[in-house]
Amino acid sequence: MNNSAAVKSSEVKSWDRQVDVIVVGCGAAGVSAAIEARTAGAEVLALEAAGGPGGTSAMSGGLIYLGGGTDLQTACGFEDSPEEMARFLIAACGPHVDEEKVRLYCEGSVAHYDWLVECGVPFKPAFWQAPTAEPWTDDGLMFSGGEDAAPYDAVAVPVPRGHCPASPTASRHGSAGGLLLMDVLSRRAAELGVEQSNNTRVRHLVIDDRGTVVGVVARRFGEDRYLAARRGVVLAAGGFIYNEHMLADHAPALVGTDKLGVEENDGSVLRAAMVAGAATVRMNAGEAAFSLPPALVKPGLLVNSAAQRFINEDSYLGRVGQHGLFRQDGRVWLIFDERIFDSAEEFRGPVQPDHVAETVEELAAETGLPPDALAETVAAYNRAAEAGHDELYGKAVRWLGPLRPPFAAIDARRRFRTFTLGGLKTTVDGEVLDHHDVPVPGLYAAGRITSGIPATGYVSGASLGDCTFFGRRAGAAAAHARPQIQSAEESH
């Protein structure tokens, strides 16, 4: 069988199984799609390449970007609206954000939060304020996207929207919210009667003579199985961060970076859709989480290889990472002093400086940064700190403080954790579009295999929010689609 082509239904001698909806991938997007399709009355078969459900979603801290006035926000004393939420997301997740998707997501965010709660996802009504990337406790709400930092604090009213499931095992080593979320959703899918087949890797889509996707070819334990979908196939198999060849072709800045995901995020299902006629968009886009403690970064000084500042250091770490990797070629140093290091002790963890020096000149010699430029950058930063106003980048006063010797620096060139943001082009209902913006009949998709709310920019929680919300819409759309085949014979 040609590995680079879709399979014609006329080549299928017999189907091993027929169901209404096939879901490919059992992370947050796939399980949400399966739940919604099954709730709509469809017979659902969910296929997972790994040994069990969860995927990258289960590895995450569990933050879900929600807002517009959820019960959790209200309980923590915050007022929000879909309009303010949309203003922020359009600015933070762009440029080239799909505004229709964003506005629909924001308008439906409160109802989506209620759906998660109904599924059994717990949220503790407590606000986490410490400078960490995610809660170290079971607190349920935090700022997770730089809403309260420049430039976004001038775009929309700053409101926390990072909703984190209340995991009893949360600690300074990380929240287990993603694992809890996937346990709850997977259990809900099983209760509804979704059938799941693990260790099952989809190799091809099956299309009929009209170009309609009517099933998949999946390999399990060395044997190919031909599986028919009467109403639709939903692809939710993640991005392509673990495919170095695809990265080299589409997102070269991500080649060789520290990958955030599971090895099944290899782009194989994405390629199967592409050869079946699906269009892709923004394949060069990626997230680059800056993996240094916020308690050090926010009060510190970030410079590029020319020893110049390039961003306000109190930005969301994902924004810092994207600017550092994509705009500064990953050549970034974090500079701080003893005061910052000591005051961050509770929240910085085991991180230690790469270089320590008594003077700026010595620090330049240690790091290889141009000494005159570094001296001027530190002096200009100190003047801004003493004046209480960062004219260059708008860093908040509470994080401004002059740097005094002894100095320290961390070489951040290997501090970018990445995953892809580009993928299949879809409608708001998860229909996969072809190169003429026409839906590919019978094919739906959601999650990181698509280009979703985080089009080029990113905020923590955008993936799990996007995956679960649009996964549900894709599952419902597939379940309500007109049957494409009535029997195996009719598909030939």
pLDDT in tens, the chain (492 residues): 445 589 999 999 999 999 999 999 999 999 999 999 999 999 999 999 999 999 999 999 999 999 999 999 999 999 999 999 999 999 999 999 999 999 999 999 999 999 999 999 999 999 999 999 999 999 999 999 999 999 999 999 999 999 999 988 877 777 789 999 999 999 999 999 999 999 999 999 999 999 999 999 999 999 999 999 999 999 999 999 999 999 999 999 999 999 999 999 999 999 999 999 999 999 999 999 999 999 999 999 999 999 999 999 999 999 999 999 999 999 999 999 999 999 999 999 899 999 999 999 999 999 999 999 999 999 999 999 999 999 999 999 999 999 999 999 999 998 999 999 999 999 999 999 999 999 999 999 999 999 999 999 999 999 999 999 999 999 999 999 999 875 444 444
Residue 146: partners with Cβ closer than 8 Å, 6 or more residues away: 92, 152, 314, 315, 316, 319, 459
CB 326 within 8 A of CB 333: no
pLDDT of residue 487: 46
CA distances from 135 to 129, 165, 177, 231, 419 (A): 9, 10, 10, 41, 22
Give the amino acid at 486: Q
Residue 86's alpha-carbon distances to 100, 281, 459, in angstroms, are 10, 22, 13
Give the span between the Cα atoms of 417 and 67, in whole angstroms.
26
The residue ranges of DSSP E strands in 221-375, in sequence order, are: 223-235, 258-259, 280-281, 286-290, 301-304, 332-337, 355-357
* Residue showing tokens 């609206």: 81
- The fold adopted by the segment(s) 1-290+418-492 is FAD/NAD(P)-binding domain (3.50.50)
Helix, strand or coil, per DSSP, at residue 29: helix
3-state SS class at 278: strand
User: Which of the following CATH numbers is that of domain 292-414: 3.50.50.60, 3.90.1150.10, 3.40.50.300, 3.90.700.10?
Assistant: 3.90.700.10
Return the number of other C-beta atoms located less than 10 Å from residue 221's C-beta: 7
> What whole-number distance in Å separates Cα of residue 27 and Cα of residue 58?
7
Looking up tokens 């002059």 gives: 402
What value, to the nearest 5°, has the Cα angle with vertex 29 and ends 444 and 479? 45
Asked if residues 170 and 135 have their Cβ atoms less than 8 Å apart, the reply is: yes
Per-residue confidence (pLDDT) for residue 8, from 0 to 100? 97
Tokens of 150: 């420049």
- Local structure of 409: helix, strand or coil: strand
pLDDT of residue 490: 44
**Quick one: pLDDT at residue 486?**
54
Domain chopping of the chain, boundaries: 1-290+418-492, 292-414
Question: For the chain, how far is it from start to end, CA to CA, in angstroms?
Answer: 18
Which residues lie closer than 8 Å to 379 by C-beta, 6 or more apart? none
- Say what the pLDDT of residue 431 is: 98
